[in-house]
Amino acid sequence: MLFHVAMEVRLPPDMPAAKADDLKARERDLAQALQRQGKWPHLWRVAGRYANISVFDVADADELHALLSSLPLFPYMDIRVTALARHPSAI
Ligand SMILES: O=C(O)CC1=CCC(=O)O1
């Protein structure tokens, strides 16, 4: 099942740089593992914002929630999820 996921990252301005760097490094490692597994087939930067547009390919909303909530940056992200269904005109 495909989900469109929009993530906006909002790190507290007073977060120590070392903590932010650690969170970002762990986020990258997990994101790249999920990409290699085929569960995160699209990851795009939104130009001009600390945000991304992603597509996840997972079994269901429960798996998506488990993945998203395991992301190190999860506590600092505003996440909007849209479930995708096949368009009847898509070829
Ligand atoms: O930088 C972001 O948009 C947040 C993020 C998601 C996966 C990743 O590596 O960073």
| CATH class of the domain comprising 2-83 | alpha beta
Task: Give the pLDDT confidence of 17-64 residue by residue, as tens digits.
Answer: 999 999 999 999 999 999 999 999 999 999 999 999 999 999 999 999
Ligand 1 pocket, 68 CB below 6 A? no
Reduce the secondary structure of the chain to three states and give it as a string: CEEEEEEEECCCCCCCHHHHHHHHHHHHHHHHHHHHCCCCCEEEECCCCCEEEEEEECCCHHHHHHHHHHCCCHHHEEEEEEEECCCCCCC
pLDDT of residue 30: 98
Task: Give the pLDDT confidence of 27-37 residue by residue, as tens digits.
Answer: 999 999 999 99
Ligand 1 pocket, 9 CB below 6 A? yes
pLDDT of residue 65: 98
* Domain layout of the chain by residue ranges: 2-83
| Rounded Cα–Cα distance for residues 69 and 77 (Å) | 10
What is the 62 CA–ligand 1 centroid distance (Å)?
21
- Evaluate whether ipTM surpasses 0.90: yes
